[in-house]
Structure 1
Amino acid sequence: MKTKLVTREGFNALKAEHDHLWHEKRPEITKIVSWAASLGDRSENADYTYNKRLLRQIDRRVRYLRKRLNELTIVDYSPQQEGRVFFGAWVEIENEAGDIKRFRIVGPDEIYDRKDYISIDAPMARALLKKAVDDEVVVRTPEGEKHWFVNTITYPTETDSREP
């Protein structure tokens, strides 16, 4: 089961996606489907078939977003989080070989199209929770235990959710 947490930026992005699909994309595709249907034989009408499928995908995504947006809990930054890893933090970690990774811990609905975001449900994120700078983190992976050290922890400001 996916965690029902989301950053304010993530919630706003999901809401914007819903609004774009519902108010712009769906009406546009509906017009194309209506036009293609008016041409007659739908069985061999590629415009009709393709756009009807696209309309179903849009409707499926809109239904999912409506349901998901209602059940998500927005987590805003709190000064009490400072110095420790919590939801919404940008974290830089390093292993003994000197490999460095930097990412933000966010809700599972926010990680798509972002290589620098990881889900709060990921083993790495779970292992990092409540850790402080210089703490050692042991992450259990299919290849065995991996050891990392926390280098930095930062939280985005309200006006800038991008990487600091």
Structure 2
Amino acid sequence: MSDRPNHITPEGYRRLREEYEALFAGERPKLLETIAWAAANGDRSENADYQYGRRRLREIDRRINFLARRMKAAKVTDPAAQPDKSRIWFGATVTLADEDDNERVVTLVGEDEADAGAGRISFHSPLARAIRGAAVGDLRRVALPAGEREYEVIGIAYPEA
């Protein structure tokens, strides 16, 4: 993992926790029962239930370990508690306009909750790095895979406490 802090919103942390608990307390115990039942049926070399169960158990255990590490390293940061709401920081929902006056709304979130299709971009993405600290009316140039673009900050909003 990197040296930078793993910022995450309270909502993002809750989703990680829910997934962890669903796997650890729900899916994993049921799968262990299936594996034990399949193992009791005899020859394991040609027992598809047993082989699939073991493979799925490894996948679940890997995901549980990943989630546990991410939650341990997480620094829960509530965007509603941001003292300077006139500038773009973690958790801000920002309205941007490009050179062609196309508007784009993005929310800066942690790496574990980023979903570009839903408008949630990682706080460490190129666009987020370019607009961090900007205020309404500021112009920022960002290098994107499709080429360099310039964006103007039109609006900044934070969730209510």
**What is the alpha-carbon distance in structure 2 between the residues aligned to residue 99 and residue 22 of structure 1?**
45
TM-score, normalised to structure 2's length? Answer: 0.90
Structure 1 residues 35 and 21: CA distance shift in structure 2, 3 A: same
Q: Letter of the aligned partner of 2:136 in structure 1?
A: V
1:144 and 2:147 equivalent?
yes
Instruction: Give me the whole-angstrom Cα distance separating, in 1, the residues matched to 2:82 and 2:70.
Output: 28
| Residue 90 (structure 1) shift | 0.9
Distance 1:4 1:79 in 2: 17
Match in the other structure for 2:112: 109
**What's 1:33 paired with?**
35
| Structure 2: distance between partners of 1:8 and 1:97 | 35
Q: Which runs of 5+ in 2 are unaligned?
A: none
Shift of the 38–112 alpha-carbon distance from structure 1 to 2, 3 Å rule, reads farther
Aligned position for 1:132: 135
Q: TM-score scaled to structure 1, two decimals?
A: 0.88
For the 8 Å contact 2:90–2:123, the answer to whether it is kept is: yes
1:68 pairs with 67, 70, 74, which one?
Answer: 70
4+ runs of 1 displaced by more than 6 Å? none
What amino acid does structure 1 have at the position aligned with 2:73?
A: E
Cα deviation for residue 143 of structure 1 reads: 3.8
* Partner Cα distance (1:112, 1:32) in 2: 34
- Residue 86 of structure 1 and its aligned partner are, at CA, apart by 0.5
Root mean square deviation, CA, Å: 1.7
Q: What is the correspondence of 1:13-24 to structure 2 with a 5 Å cutoff?
A: 13-24=15-26
Identity of matched residues, % = 37
> Compared with structure 1, are the counterparts of its residues 67 and 126 closer, same or farther at alpha carbon in structure 2 (3 Å cutoff)?
same
Cα distance in 1 for partners of 2:64, 2:100 equals 45
Q: Could you tell me which amino acid in structure 1 is paired with residue 129 of structure 2?
A: R
Number of aligned residues: 158
Structure showing the higher helix proportion among its residues = 2
Residue 154 of structure 1 aligns with an amino acid whose one-letter code is A
Letter in 2 for 1:26: R
Could you say what secondary structure the match of 2:106 adopts?
strand
Determine the C-alpha separation between the residues in 2 that align with 1:136 and 1:67: 38
- Residues 112 and 43 (structure 1 numbering): CA distance in 2 closer, same or farther, change over 3 Å? farther
Q: What is the alpha-carbon distance in structure 2 between the residues aligned to residue 24 and residue 66 of structure 1?
A: 16
